[in-house]
Structure 1
Amino acid sequence: MWLIGDVELIQQKGRIGFFHYGPRMWMIGGIGPLKALQNSAQRDDIIQRILSEYPVVSFAKDGTLYRLRLNPATPIDSCEYDSPPDHLLGRGRLDAQDHPVLYCAQDIEGCVHECRVTVEDELYIATLHPARPLKLLDLTELLLEEDTTEFESLDLAVHMLFYAPEHSYPISRAIAIAAMKSGFDGVVYPSYSSQVRSGLMPAETVGYGISIRRAARYIPRLTGHAKTGVYPNVALFGRPVRDGIVEIACINRLILHKASYDIRFGPVISH
């Protein structure tokens, strides 16, 4: 309200008009598949689409994953780097009470972001290698959907789901359990900290919208642009360290040497 006088003066002197241009509703979650995922009666149909439309990738035996632990009781014990014990299950994005998940990343910085470490923590990191090729569902891939608008896009729905906080966990857990039952060893999914790591917060509407995705069918380099800022995490189902699905190559102490922040200011809105 305190801008009304300024707006009227600019309109008068500049002979121009102002009008409110609100967001297209898909930008704030008005996407059909995302709404269906929030409806327990419709959720399974969308999950089956996710399982069939997202690509299957094979994580090779020579691939590397990292698992970070904060203040482990016995840092040298390999069990410390497996999925959390039963009494801690059901707190994460993909694990449930009867569905343990080993969360790891393909880069060390990703582990640090996900674990929200402080300088007071004692940090230990395990380097993991698969004992065999792993069958993973890649939820970070760009779906090139034909004749689809932003309001109907499964691709945008899944990305928004994984950028949402804890209220989205029941949905992402349901996807993980369905993937496990379908024979996957785990999933590759967008890190919740992707936007703050890349600085793309909020995400640009052109790159995040459907226009770049459509153009990527004809200009392959645009696929990379549309995926800019998506940092992948890997979640492996069960207890892969105990079961020999992944092997620990080494364990190291991790010391935070320096942290830096890129900060900007925003308005204070009083309700």
Structure 2
Amino acid sequence: MLARLIATSAAALALAAVAQPAAAQTRIAVGEQSGATLNAQSPKLADGSYYQCWVVEARGQPITIDLMSGFFDTFLVVGTGSDCGDSMTAIAADDDSGNNTNAQISGTFDVPRLLIRANAFNAGEGGNYWIKVTAGLPEVEERLGSMDALPQVTSEWGTETYVCAGAYRAMGELKQYVGRYGNVASIDYAARDRQVSGRLSTGEAGSADFMSSALALEALNGFIDDKPQNVASYLETVAACDRAYGFNPVTRYR
């Protein structure tokens, strides 16, 4: 990785080797790149992972934030509050939307002071890293979020009876993958399937089975091909069906 190649000449690049105290916040401007180090002297989150806190004043313009390292799996969180610790109010988070295990978040953040948490994904990991803030959104394909914070999408499917029966049936295969989103794990989708399926006509029974397979495939391909929009589309279909049939709706976000 680029960050690892850069790190071989760390002395010449003068990366910050001394960790800052938990309350320290380093300013970074739009258009600036800076290096630092996560180590045993860095502040920790409740999960045991090291982090450092950066602050940018984006002034409502679109920006892209990159967190890069060849020494640890990066995890990037932006939000608001007084500190980047566990009490920070997160707006967006990303694990690996950058190349390899690098993280990237882009968007327009209408807050005067945006906190940036440069974090290691795993407890105890550390090393040199680079953080970069650039004006504008990526010029590559549109970023559609990550599995940690699913993007907002509009489902292509409606709320016809066979669609909703299929969406609930697909959950039997998908719940182990999507159970971490909102209240998914606490909902009995088999019971919802039975209630909705009772309204199916004879000709719609086969269509419900087809929809179940199609929706399960769509969501699973999202995990396989790293397309969080596919997972979001499936959960949005489930949520729309919940609302249409008077159920407590699924919440997509953790």
TM bracket, shorter-chain basis: under 0.3
Instruction: Calculate the TM-score normalised by the size of structure 1.
Output: 0.25
Instruction: Calculate the TM-score normalised by the size of structure 2.
Output: 0.26
Structure with the higher helix share, 1 or 2: 1
